[in-house]
Amino acid sequence: MSKLTTLHEFIVAKQKDFPFASGELSRLLSDIALAAKIVSNDVRKAGLVDHILGAQGGQNVQGEEQQKLDVVADEAFIRAFENGGEVCGIASEENDDYLAFSSEAAQKGNYVVLFDPLDGSSNIDVNVSIGTIFSIYRRISPNGTPATLADMLQTGDQQVAAGYVLYGSSTILVYSTGKGVNGFTLDPAIGEFFLSHPDMKMPEEGRLYSINEGNLQDFNPTLRAYLDYCQSDQNQTGKPYSGRYIGSLVADFHRNLIKGGIYIYPTVPSAPQGRLRLLYECNPLAFIAEQAGGLATDGQQRILAIKPSQLHQRVGFYIGSKKMVEKAMGN
Ligand code: AHG
Ligand code: MN
Ligand code: MN
C-alpha cells in the first residue's frame, strides 16, 4: 500500500517552498481545513436538522435570500479566522462590509481572507453539491493596526493562496499557493483530509460547457456564435459538446477542472455587471484555473488583472480550459 499523505503533512512539507516562511500561512490553511470539516459536518446533516434546512428569513446585502446554512458556514469560517491569529480581517459575500478584527492578536496577523461561505445556496434544499470559495492576500496596512478596505481591494494577481471546498459526493479541498494545484479528500470517519488529486492540470480542450441557457436570448452575438459552435458537429470533436449546469459555480468548475470544459456567466440585462462576485468567487477560481493551466477572463481581459473598486463588485465570467475560453471570447 502506498503511503497516504495528510493535508497537514503536505502543508508542512510545502512550507519549504517559501524560504523565509514563518509558518503563518501554513497555520491559516490548517484553520481553513478545520472550518471546512465543521461546515462539511453541518452540510451532511442538512436534511435532518430542521433549524439548519430552509430559509433563514433574512436577505444578504445583495438582496438575495440567506439560507441558514449560508449563515452557519459564514460564522464557522469567521470564527476560525478570528481565533487563528494569522488573519487581521475578512470580507464575505454574506456581510455588508468587511470586518477588521479587534483583538490585539488578530491585528498582528499578516493576512486577509475574502470568501463565499456557501456557493450554490439554491441547491441546499435539493441535496445538490455546494461549496466554499476562499482567497488569501497579505495585508497592505501596517501590522498591529486594524485591517483596511485597501487590504481587501487588491487585484487577484496579488493573491498568495486561494482554493475551495466542495461538499459533493465526498468533501474535497482544492487549493494553490501559486505552485500548482492539489486536492484533498476528507475521510469523514476519521476527520482527516488526504491528498487525492496531486498536481491537478486542467485539460487545454474539453467538450463540456456550463452556462444558464435560460438567458440565451440576451447573450451577445459572439457568445451565441460560440454556443452554436459547441452544439454543432463543426467543432474540433466532430460532434456536439455536452451541456452541464449545476447552478453551483464551484461544482461546475471542479468538474471542468478535472474533465476539461468551460463555465460562462456573461453580462446580461438582468445582471448588467455579471452575476458573480469578483472578490469572493471569480478571483480565487481564476487563480486556481491559471495555476492548473486554464484561463479566466471577463470576456475581454484576465480576471486576475482587474483592479477592484468595490467589495461586492460583479463581473462577467469565462473560466475553464484555455482553448475553450479563448474561442468563447471570439479569438
Ligand atoms: P451563491 O449561491 O453564492 O449566491 O452563488 C450562486 C452563483 C453560482 O454558484 C451559480 O453558478 C450561479 O450563481 C447561478 O446563477 P443562475 O441561477 O442565474 O444561473
Ligand atoms: Mn457563490
Ligand atoms: Mn454564497
* Span from the CA of 299 to the centroid of ligand 1 (angstroms): 18
Ligand 3 (single-atom ion) residues, CB below 5 Å: 93, 116, 118-119
Instruction: Provide the 3-class DSSP secondary structure of residue 189.
Output: coil
Q: How confident is the model at residue 176 (pLDDT cuts 50, 70, 90)?
A: very high
48 C-beta neighbours (distance < 10 Å), count: 8
247 and 146 in one domain?
no
Specify whether the backbone of 301 is left (phi greater than 0), alpha (psi in -120 to 50) or beta.
Answer: beta
168 and 242 in a single domain? The answer is no
Q: Tell whether 165 and 301 lie within a shared domain.
A: no
168, 189: one domain: yes
Closest CA to 68 of 124, 116, 17: 124
pLDDT of 33 over the 70 cut: yes
220 and 275 together in one domain: yes
User: Are 178 and 65 contained in the same domain?
Assistant: yes
- Over residues 146-162, mean pLDDT: 98
Residue 1 lies in a domain: no
H or E element that contains 287:
helix 283-291
Q: Which of 174, 197, 220 is the last residue of a domain?
A: 197
- Burial degree of 208 (CB within 10 A; 0-12, 13-18, 19+): buried
In short, whether 275's Cβ falls inside 6 Å of ligand 1 is yes
Beta bridge partners of 162: 135, 176
**Smallest CA separation from ligand 1 atom 12, residue:** 247
Q: What is the pLDDT of residue 59?
A: 75
Pairing of strands 242-243, 192-197: unpaired
pLDDT tens column, 78-112: 999 999 999 999 999 999 999 999 999 999 999 99
Does 203 reside within a domain?
Answer: no
Q: What is the CA radius of gyration of the chain?
A: 19
Decide whether any atom of ligand 1 lies within 6 Å of the 218 Cβ: no
Co-location of 58 and 85 in the same domain:
yes
More confident call, 307 vs 22: 307
Q: Note whether residue 21 is domain-resident.
A: yes
Q: What is the pLDDT of residue 255?
A: 98
Backbone phi and psi for residue 138, each to the nearest 5 degrees, phi listed first: -80, 140
CATH of the domain at 228: 3.40.190.80
314 lines ligand 1 (CB under 6 A): no
Distance 170 CA to ligand 3 centre (A): 20
What pLDDT is stored for residue 1 in this prediction?
A: 53
Average pLDDT, integer, range 246-266: 98
**Which atom in ligand 1 lies closest to the alpha carbon of residue 275?**
13
In a domain, 2, yes or no: no
pLDDT of residue 66: 64
pLDDT tens per residue across span 177-204:
999 999 999 999 999 999 999 999 999 9
- 202 domain-assigned: no
Which of these three, 144, 175, 197, is where a domain ends?
197
> How far apart (Å, rounded) are the C-alpha atoms in residues 35 and 143?
25
Within the chain, strands assigned E span 55-59, 65-67, 87-92, 99-100, 111-119, 130-138, 161-167, 171-176, 182-187, 192-197, 208-210, 242-243, 262-265, 276-277, 295-297, 314-315, 317-320
Residues 131 and 171: their CA atoms lie apart, in Å, by: 9
pLDDT at residue 153 is higher than 90: yes
258 Cα: distance to centroid of ligand 3 (angstroms): 23
- Is 52 among the domain residues? yes
Nearest atom of ligand 1 to the alpha carbon of 212: 19
Please tell me the pTM assigned to this model.
0.96
Cβ atoms of 96 and 74 within 8 Å: the answer is no
Average pLDDT (151-160) is 98
Residues 216 and 167 in one domain: no
Atom 2 (ligand 1) nearest CA: 120
Quick check: is 273 in a domain?
yes
| Domain assignment present for 296 | yes
Task: Print the domain residue range for 324.
Answer: 208-328
State the CATH number of the domain containing residue 139: 3.30.540.10
11 and 125, same domain (yes or no) = yes
Q: Which atom of ligand 1 is nearest to the CA of 250?
A: 9
pLDDT of residue 63: 76
Torsion of CA 92, 94, 95, 97, to 10 degrees: 50
Same structural domain, 12 and 109: yes
d(CA 253, ligand 2 centre) in Å: 12
Task: State whether the beta carbon of 210 lies less than 6 angstroms from ligand 1.
Answer: no
Q: Which of 307, 313, 243, 306 is nearest to 276 (CA)?
A: 313
Q: What is the mean pLDDT of the chain?
A: 94
Q: Which one of 153, 170, 197 terminates a domain?
A: 197
Number of separate domains in the chain: 2
Same domain, 119 and 30: yes
Q: What are the CB-based long-range contacts (under 8 Å, 24+) for 98-105?
A: 98/147, 98/149, 98/152, 98/311, 99/147, 100/146, 100/147, 100/148, 101/146, 101/147, 102/146
Q: 215 and 313 in one domain?
A: yes
What is the pLDDT at residue 51? 63
Total residue length of the chain = 331
| 20 pLDDT tier (thresholds 50, 70, 90) | confident
Ligand nearest to the CA of 248: 1
Find the 256 Cα to ligand 3 centroid distance in Å. 20
pLDDT at 189: 95
Ligand 1 pocket residue status of 120, Cβ below 6 Å: yes
pLDDT at 46 over 90: no
Pairing of strands 87-92, 55-59: unpaired
53 — pLDDT class (breaks 50, 70, 90): low
249 Cβ inside 6 Å of ligand 1: yes
